[in-house]
A and B are shown apart, each in its own frame.
Chain A
Amino acid sequence: MTTAVYEIKGGDYERGGAASRAVKQQLKQVGADPAVVRRAMIAAYEAEMNVVIHTQGGELRACLHNGQLDIEVIDTGPGIADVEQALREGYSTASPKARELGFGAGMGLPNIKRNSDRFAIESALGRGTRVSFTILLKPQALYGAGRHSVQIVAERCRQSLRCLRACPTGAVRAFRGKPEILDYLCIDCTACIAACPTGTLMMSGTVGELKPAADTVLVVPAAALVQYGAGVTPQRVLDELTALGFREVRVVEAWEEALRAAVVAYAKAEAPVAPVISPACPAVVNLIETRFPSLIPHLAPFLSAIEAVRGELGGRQAICVALCPCQKTALRIGDGVQPDVLLPAVLRAAVMPRLNTNPPAGHGSSALGGGASADVLRVAGLRHVVRVLEAIEDGLVTDVPVIEPWICDKGCFGSPLLAEDAVLARSRWQTAPVERQASARAVRRNVPFEPRKGLRLDNDMTKAIHKLARIDKLKRSLPGGDCGICGAPTCAALAEDIVLGRAHPEACPRQGQSTPPSEKESGT
């Protein structure tokens, strides 16, 4: 608990506000939410100026304890004749001088009352006034919010540490023997899932069984239709799914094509910058919002295909096969129908037995599939995507109007949740596509893309700079080999984790090995 007392001189307009300023410093030091600080400042400044304007002098006491700020402002007179009237908006007894300076609007006490969580006033004519109020402090979230659908099944972890290095944003840690994800960095892609040899990292919240129903729409991505080996065409799989008894089966690819056409049209007619980046893959959008915020203007303002499909369900029950966590997240956040999300493996288990017993059905007319366009450059695979985004950031991509990046190899065909090889699957889809669905269209976004807040070292700039210096110093004392044994993906990440209290100061097993032996021995 800290109590500070500040003297306020009556009539000293020059120094009026000094006490409030000191209180603000304190609030910033304890990391109070900026909105709360603003409320506290309105109340404190009004109270302080009341003493300056109306009285012979007094003091402001500020007490910080138990997550709240208590302020007491006491003066020695002349006191308020009618407190009730003084609390009414617009009532003022301020001098002409005060009014000239912009005070005396009759808003002081009402302003204090409105901005505090508890407010009290006592006054006695000739003796003085005591105004006290409380502001409840909320600690500010140090990290921006992140939403993802990656789930960790800790008991499966054999500490291969592959996930640490696979993550494109360095969001994975394994300090306590199992992986953890820093939400604010996770872009909801499949990198860690693909890297994990034991299935510790998985997509969360899926249903375990495919239950056909006459009022339910089934939404499947093209890639899920080409997981049944040579000779089983996607149209055949689609027919079997329809025969299971759904109201309708929709293939996401149709919306991807519509989106592609819309993005090309947007690039030709409206785009403020070139090249235009297609928002086809939600994980790419997350990656840009997190690691490449300067590329946000390049993103075409449309919903991804899976979000567009969801928007057109029109309140009907639905089951969606999601190929990655970001698709699942896109199906769950915001308003609208919350469809059941199914792993492709569950779909496969339901379709497989039918393929063995039923005779093959005839081909449909080839219409949906491929989707290659001369104007669109498809970039698939995390490594390529990152390098191409870096190139765009450097202004080196001037020869392509539209870029369509996908985190997984071959687009969604390379999802680690699928059994078939990405190249085989995509080629089977391209050689034998399914019938076109008429209703698919691209949908404009209502909500603009926004850079993610990311990490703030501290709410207080001074402290943040101090921490930054400590991180820098620590980083130089670490070996720099990025071995990952400590549980952080890089030595730089470990330095940050130690300074932010996420990792033990001696987490590095190799620290000091690069320093001369004498120094090392004296350290241990």
Chain B
Amino acid sequence: MRLDELASKIGAKVHTPGRGANVEADQVYAGDRISDLLNAAGEHALLVSNLASTHLVRVAELMDIPGICLVNGQVPDAAMLDAAREHRTLLMASPLGLFETCGRVYECLATEKQT
């Protein structure tokens, strides 16, 4: 599923579009520890995390991850937005918590697989 499409389906707000319109995501990794997210990295992954900082964008950049979703309605600060813009990472923010956000994403990807 395209990342921007996924964002609208799970009710997340897209802050920076990145390469999102052209990138398909079929994997989701959620976590609040950088090391875990590093290991989970993939070219078609979406990172879901509480870590609203530039480091998350850095991880996405180093590991070629196309998209990040912040949770709990967090608003990315200017530094994070700049970093995301610079590295063309799609940055979205979900009003829901980590668990619920992942649940919605899972639902979207699972329905897509069936059809």
Contact = CB atoms under 8 A, between A and B. Distances in A.
A41 B62 contact: yes
A102 B55 contact: yes
Given A42-B38, A111-B38, A14 B62 contact: no
B56 to A, nearest CB: 7
Interface string B1-12: 000000000000
A102 B61 contact: no
Contacts of A235: none
A46 B38 contact: yes
Contact of B54 (A14, A42, A45): A14
B113 to A, nearest CB: 12
Contacts of B62: 17, 20-21, 24, 41, 45
A102 B38 contact: no
B115 to A, nearest CB: 8
A374 interface: no
Interface in A72-116: 101-103, 105, 107-108, 111
Q: Chain A, interface size: which category?
A: 20 to 34
A489 interface: no
A49 interface: yes
A20 B38 CA distance: 13
Contacts of B54: 14
A34 interface: yes
A515 B89 CA distance: 48
Interface stretch (B27-35, B66-74, B104-112): B27-35
B39 interface: yes
Interface in A129-165: none
Interface in A35-58: 38, 41-42, 45-46, 49
Contacts of A14: 54, 79
Contact of A105 (B35, B43, B56, B59): B35
A99 to B, nearest CB: 9
Contacts of A102: 32-34, 37, 49, 51, 53, 55-56
Tell which of B34, B35, B41, B53 has the most Cβ of chain A within 10 Å: B35
A49 B55 CA distance: 10
A16 interface: yes
Contacts of B75: none
Contacts of A34: 43, 64
Nearest to A111: B35
Contacts of A46: 35, 38
Contact of A16 (B37, B55, B63): B55
Contact of A38 (B32, B37, B53, B63): B63
B51 A101 contact: yes
B55 A101 contact: yes
Nearest to A110: B35
Nearest to A89: B35
Interface of B: 32-39, 41, 43, 49, 51, 53-56, 58-59, 61-64, 79
26 contacts: A13-B55, A14-B54, A20-B62, A21-B61, A24-B62, A38-B63, A38-B64, A42-B38, A42-B63, A45-B38, A45-B59, A46-B35, A101-B34, A102-B34, A102-B37, A102-B51, A102-B53, A102-B56, A103-B33, A105-B33, A105-B36, A107-B33, A107-B36, A108-B35, A111-B38, A111-B39
Interface of A: 13-14, 16-17, 20-21, 24, 34, 38, 41-42, 45-46, 49, 101-103, 105, 107-108, 111
Sort A-B residue pairs by CB-CB distance and give the 4 closest, nearest first. A107-B35, A105-B33, A17-B58, A102-B34
